Amino acid sequence: DGGITQSPKYLFRKEGQNVTLSCEQNLNHDAMYWYRQDPGQGLRLIYYSQIVNDFQKGDIAEGYSVSREKKESFPLTVTSAQKNPTAFYLCASNGQGGGYTFGSGTRLTVV
């Protein structure tokens, strides 16, 4: 079955540590996205990529970095510069318009 796989489901980060969230899709979609969701809030765009080796900042890119070396993969690194990283992170992909397909999310907690 085609879809998006995010891993891990739960992730714990110590102060000053970088962590990387994985996102893999087998839908052959060109565009991929990272969103952050905080309790009681909507989704906010962190980064997006419309094609391999190219990506753009979203509305809240500070403290995050991404890469897009393969069409199937769009990993997100939460750096130590992100002062409030505790949140639910969602990866999505999109083909030729229409609705996004979302992964099941990664819950990141600072310990």
Per CB under 8 A, 50 contacts another protein: yes
The one-letter code for the residue type at 51 is: I
Per CB under 8 A, 26 contacts another protein: no
Per CB under 8 A, 27 contacts another protein: no
Which part of the chain contacts another protein (CB under 8 A), choosing from 17-25, 42-50, 62-70, 75-83?
42-50
Count of residues that interact with another protein, criterion CB under 8 A = 28
In the list 17, 26, 104, 109, the residue contacting another protein (rule: CB under 8 A) is 104
Beta strand ranges found along 1-111 (DSSP E): 4-7, 10-13, 19-25, 31-37, 43-51, 54-57, 64-66, 76-78, 87-94, 101-102, 106-110
By CB atoms closer than 10 A (0-12, 13-18, 19+), residue 69 is exposed
64, 55 in Cβ contact below 8 A?
no
Which part of the chain contacts another protein (CB under 8 A), choosing from 14-22, 63-71, 75-83, 90-98?
90-98
Interface with another protein (CB under 8 A) = 4, 6, 31, 33, 35, 40-45, 48, 50, 58, 88, 90, 92, 94, 97-105, 107
